[in-house]
A = this chain, B = another copy of it.
Amino acid sequence: MAFLARQYKVLAAYCLVVAVVLVFALSVQAAASFIFGAFLSLLAGFFGMKAATYANVRTTQAATTGNKANTLLVALDGGAVMGLAVAGLGLFGMGLIYILFQGTDQFGTVIHSFAVGASSIALFARIGGGIYTKAADVGSDIAGKVIENIPEDDPRNPGVIADNVGDNVGDVAGMGADIYESMVAAVVAAMAIALTGTEATMPNLLAGSDSDNRFVGIMLPLFLTAIGLVVSIIGIMITRMLKNLNPAVVLRSALIFPPIILVIVSAILMPILGLTQNITIALAVGAVGGALIGLVTDYYTSASPIAKIANSAKTGAGTSLIRGLAVGMESVAIPILIVVISAYIADNVLGLYGIALAAVGMLAGTAVVMTVDAYGPISDNAGGISEMSGLGKSVRDITDELDAVGNTTAAIGKGFAIGSATLTVIALFSAFNSEVNHARQLAGAGDLVLVLTDAKVLIGILIGSILPFLVGSTTMLAVGRAAGAIVEEIGRQFREIPGLIELKAEPQPKKIVDIATKAALYEMILPGLIAVLAPPIVGFLLGPAALAGTLAGALAVGATMAAFMANAGGAWDNAKKYIEKGHLGAGHLKGSDTHKAAVIGDMVGDPFKDTSGPGIAILIKVMSVVSLLIASLIALR
């Protein structure tokens, strides 16, 4: 809470500055909508944090009864509070703006501002939270395991509290803001195409007539998201019924049922509403594509790839790192090809609007995905609490089993997030072009045709291609620097607090939390500003063609780098756990050279999967919504 309070202060200052700019550049309504979108994002993170911190303790408590099924439910319920809050707040916010502004000239600007508010807060929350959590994790790991040789989650290590806090601020609050943003961006992309699109980008949605096509196109993504929320609640209820099965089966079915139900509901509803079944097809390719990407991501972070990484750790950290990097690179191909095929089908049935609907379909189960995602850190922290409270091995065994499943589902959730981000950015990209041309028509200028061989577009592609690397570099360095400061402070405490090693004195975890907080808030500024300022700088200096190229270049590099980093990180993490479980034999358990090599992979993977990878995935969305918002201002440059 201390971290959130300070982070929110920094973000409030950011919002104020942007809002003032928006009042002058666009309108008071746009500024208000921006603040509203940002506020709901903060609220989603706050609810999640509250629910997760309560659920941590309750899950530990439930585990002491020895009832695994009930412990699973307690953890899942904690996640569900977050999941339903995120989806509900997103729907509420966009619904309110729809009711207030739909049909007015303001609608486009206002809804885009809402998305920018949601996106930029998500970016800062994700990056700030990611730096905090991984600095605390890497810092206390290095200090605890390597320097002082005490076990993980040992209460003498003053970094452990910060590590637990980090799981909440990064994986819960950061993830909540992230998924809230994904949902908003997908809906807004579809709305934006419907608002300014032509027949080519949005074919007829009404079987027979075409009178109210634009109106239906604007309302439809909101309507489908609402159905998605209802379906998600059903999905969470199904999960409760299955509680006595293997936890892995329970969580996977929670992710897979809602998309299937949604497609069935859509197939029934569309003819009744007089709409084309092409809508169902677009939704279905998104929903199925999302699930497939999740399964592929799961494969690369759990099956034979991690066994190979673990085995290569036998010849040292170098070979294990090479193998992990190769696995991460390979893991990019199939998910992106699935996106390509989904986009191809969706485009064939409903043009670029279809691609946006596919993204909506992929995110229709947002509430469930978020529930399962939040479940991971909750059970992870429950394990930490049980260790620190000395509750014994039987309790820890239950929380460990639940935690292991959480890692897999977190990978699936990340797959969904990156897949939907890619589809959403494609849709936002063409919405940007529509918006530019709309503004040009109003000014009496001809359409801007984005020709790929235009030097400005090519230059833009190259500029865009470096931005994900800059965000990757700044966030990696931030984690490294902050972790270094934490290691030093832990070392100082062990040296200067007499009796700490003999458990006769208390460590000072507050100081570690303080260092991590300050570092995260300071370090999130640079990568955040790169994402927010790059589009206006390119747009106002080089014009809309260069900005479009920048978005395309950032998409190509960002989608692949995000998947590469997230999956390599997940694979190293699980390879380490695979070794700890004894799959390589007793000679390679904790303390062995093999395990030490795997720990190094995990350490590199930590910022990969929880800071830089997710940060890059949001980067490309933030850039797209900011570009959409400023499209009319730079259209004639």
Residues of A within 8 A of B (CB): 138, 142, 146, 201, 312, 315-319, 321-323, 325-330, 332-333, 336-337, 339-340, 343-344, 347, 351-352, 355, 422, 426, 429-430, 433, 449-453, 455, 457-459, 461-466, 469-470, 472-474, 476-477, 479-480, 483-484, 487, 548-549, 552-553, 555-557, 559-560, 564, 599-600, 603-604, 607
- Given A344-B455, A461-B555, do A480 and B326 touch, yes or no (CB 8 Å)? yes
Return chain B residues, CB-CB under 8 Å to A549: 452
Nearest B residue to A141, CB-CB: B318
A322 close to B459 (CB less than 8 A): no
CB closest chain-B residue, reference A341:
B459
Q: Which residues from B are CB-within-8-Å of A453? A: 201, 352, 429-430, 433, 450, 548
Known: A322-B476, A337-B463, A556-B556. 15 other contacts (CB 8 A): A201-B453, A312-B484, A321-B603, A322-B607, A329-B473, A332-B469, A336-B462, A336-B463, A336-B465, A339-B462, A351-B455, A450-B451, A452-B552, A461-B552, A557-B560
Among A146, A451, A473, max chain B CB count under 10 A is at A473
Alpha-carbon distance between A216 and B329 when the two chains are bound, in angstroms: 45
Asked whether, in the complex, the Cβ of A317 is within 8 Å of the Cβ of B422, the reply is: no
Q: Please measure, in the bound complex, the distance between the C-alpha atom of A465 and the C-alpha atom of B457, giving whole angstroms.
A: 17
12 contacts between A and B (CB under 8 A): A138-B318, A146-B315, A312-B480, A318-B604, A322-B480, A326-B473, A328-B473, A343-B459, A344-B455, A351-B455, A461-B552, A464-B556
- How far, in angstroms, from A552 to B322 measured CA to CA in the complex? 28
Q: Could you tell me the distance between the alpha carbons of A479 and B321 in the complex, rounded to whole angstroms?
A: 12
Looking across the interface, which residue of chain B has its beta carbon closest to that of A346? B455
The residue that A470 contacts in the complex, of B138, B329, B451, B600, with Cβ under 8 A, is B329
Task: Pick the 10 closest A-B CB pairs, nearest first.
Answer: A318-B603, A329-B473, A450-B452, A347-B455, A326-B476, A465-B556, A330-B473, A556-B556, A329-B469, A553-B556
Copy number of this protein in the oligomer? 2
Mostly, the A contact residues are: helix
In the complex, residue of chain B having the shortest beta-carbon distance to the beta carbon of A351: B455
A93 CB to closest chain B CB (Å) equals 28
CA distance A487 to B312 in the complex (A): 12
- A473 CB to closest chain B CB, in angstroms? 4
CA distance A336 to B470 in the complex (A): 12
The interface residues of chain B lying within 8 Å CB-to-CB of A599 are 318
Give chain B nearest CB distance to A464 CB in angstroms: 7
Return the contact of A449 from the options B337, B343, B451 (Cβ within 8 A): B451
Bound form: Cα–Cα A337–B537 in Å: 14
Contacts of A483 in B (CB 8 A): 319
User: Which residues of the partner chain B approach A355 to less than 8 Å between Cβ atoms?
Assistant: 455
CB of A317 within 8 A of CB of B315, answer: no
Residues of B within 8 A of A560 (CB): 465-466, 469, 557
A613 CB → nearest B CB, Å? 12
Q: Which chain B positions have C-beta within 8 A of A321?
A: 321, 600, 603-604
The answer to whether A480 touches B450, judged by C-beta atoms less than 8 angstroms apart, is no
Central interface residue in A457, A479, A600, by most chain B CB within 10 Å: A600
Distance A453 CA – B466 CA, assembled complex (angstroms): 21
